[in-house]
Structure 1
Amino acid sequence: MNTQQRTSTLQHSGVNEAEVSKLFRNTYSLLAMTLTFSALVAFGSMTFNLPHPGIIIMLVGFYGLLFLTTKLRNSPWGLVSTFAFTGFLGYTLGPILNMYLSLPNGGSLVTMALGMTALVFFSLSAYAILTRKDFSFLSGFIMAGFVVLLCAVVASFFIEISGLQMAISAGFVLFSSAVILYQTSSIIHGGEDNYIMATITLFVSIYNLFLSLLHLLGIFGGDD
């Protein structure tokens, strides 16, 4: 009986490992495709010098497409909405990059921000995968961080406080890093079983991480 139980446990573990591996493949394949698509849209936005849509359209587009993707996550249309969501973010990125590239040292700032974003993402992902640590304890920090950052962003529209923008960017770097660890761990330990939602979470974390690092580099680079 004990032998049968051990065999059943091993078989169950094998199934779980296979499911996790499949989820990883699907997530990172889709993430690579959406990052490439978003980069192409951003390049088009830069080339045609398209204007930034503004904060209202940005928020409506972001949360509207995020809600749509969440609703469609279990259907093939979820892939369509995923590319629409990431493409929209790529479009909003174009005018921001053009602004930085117009600076004397803009090219180096953008390149450095891209390199740092890639380094942080791959380092944190590799750490979570190789150590297989459970980072579910970060859920409380992520929720609290989201509320604090949201309040800080709203306050920044009405109150001018020295260093607030820098603090917000630094906060987003920490927040995005925590989300990357949490989401990667969640895939490993079964907390996330939908590759579309895993992709969206990681994509937004990379997007916020890049913009926050770019802003911090811009501050220290002397553009503010």
Structure 2
Amino acid sequence: MLENNQYATAAASKEASIIQTNKVLKNTYILLSLSLGFAAVCAFIFRNAPMINPWLFLGGFIGLSFLAQALCRSVWGIAAVFAFTGFVGFALGPILNMFMSSGQGTAIVMNALGGTAVIFLALSGYALVSRRDFSFLRGFIFAGAIVLLAAVVMSLIFDISGFQLAISCAFMVFASALILYQTGEIIHGGETNYILATITLFASIYNLFIALLHIFSALSGDD
């Protein structure tokens, strides 16, 4: 009888865990889709705005993402997510407009968009189907974030030939690892807050898109 009760308790606990995981996944992808759509609308609306100062963008990107994380357990967290993604869209609009006004710009943007979608869906799909634990990437992601932040600051101060392309390649690897890690964390219960998961995945998609944009631009000779 005791063994049966323990088995029933374990089964109920497992079922509750699965329901919670599915709920977090569902809410994350819904909010992520809405955030991406909102960023796209903002990018279109502000496409003719002047380019934002890189230092201002870096401060806003980091500051608003931290704000969303700080408010992640309240309803204001959702508002902070849209403030963050709207700001990214506002900054991205003039960049896309500049690319698309150049010779091969439209093709470059479309290739970057397509590449971002394929990589994100492939990595997310692999993590969901394989259900592997990607927690081993935690150290790489932590170290990579520090190194890449330092590299971005250096690129804003020093004009080094080929450095931007190297950073873009590094960001592509970093963003891909972060997508695998974050999706794995949701699946295995390491991340139970869909606002935090959305911020992480949105930032990964943005960095992946910008990285591919620069890489395709460099390969086309349009950079």
TM-score category, normalised to shorter length: over 0.9
Tell me what 1:36 maps to.
37
Query: In the alignment, which residue of structure 2 is the partner of 1:26?
Result: 27
Q: Give the whole-Å Cα distance in 1 for the aligned partners of 2:171 and 2:87.
A: 20
Aligned 8 A contact 2:104 2:222 in 1: no
Name the TM-score, length of structure 2 as normaliser.
0.97
Matching of residues 1-224 of structure 1 within 5 Å: 1-46=2-47, 49-224=48-223
- 1:36 aligned partner, one-letter code: G
Deviates more, 1:20-29 or 1:144-153: 144-153
Q: Deviations over 1:184-210 (max 9, x none)?
A: 000011111100010000000000100
Q: Quick one: which amino acid aligns to residue 12 of structure 1?
A: S
Counterpart amino acid of residue 70 in structure 2: K
C-alpha distance in structure 1 between counterparts of 2:69 and 2:144, whole Å: 22
2:180 & 2:5 partners in 1: Cα distance?
Answer: 36
What's the offset of the Cα at 1:160?
Answer: 3.3
TM-score (norm 1): 0.96
Give the drift of 1:123: 0.3
Runs of 4+ in 1 over 6 A off after TM superposition: none
Aligned residues: 222
Residue 89 of structure 1: how far off its partner (Å): 0.3
Rate the CA distance shift 1:34–1:72 in 2: closer, same or farther, 3 A. Answer: same
Q: Distance in 2 between matches of 1:160 and 1:61?
A: 23
Post-superposition shift, 1:120?
0.2
1:167 alignment partner AA: A
Deviations 1:43-62 (A, max 9, x none): 1111xx10122022212222
For residue 102 of structure 2, give the secondary structure of its aligned residue in structure 1.
coil
Instruction: State the distance in 2 between where 1:154 and 1:51 align.
Output: 22
Per the TM alignment, residue 68 of structure 1 is displaced from its structure 2 partner at its CA by 1.7
Q: Deviations over 1:102-154 (max 9, x none)?
A: 11111111011000000000000000000000000001111111122122222
* Aligned-pair Cα RMSD in Å: 1.0
Deviation at 1:63, TM superposition (A): 2.1
Letter in 2 for 1:175: F
SS in 1 for 2:218: helix
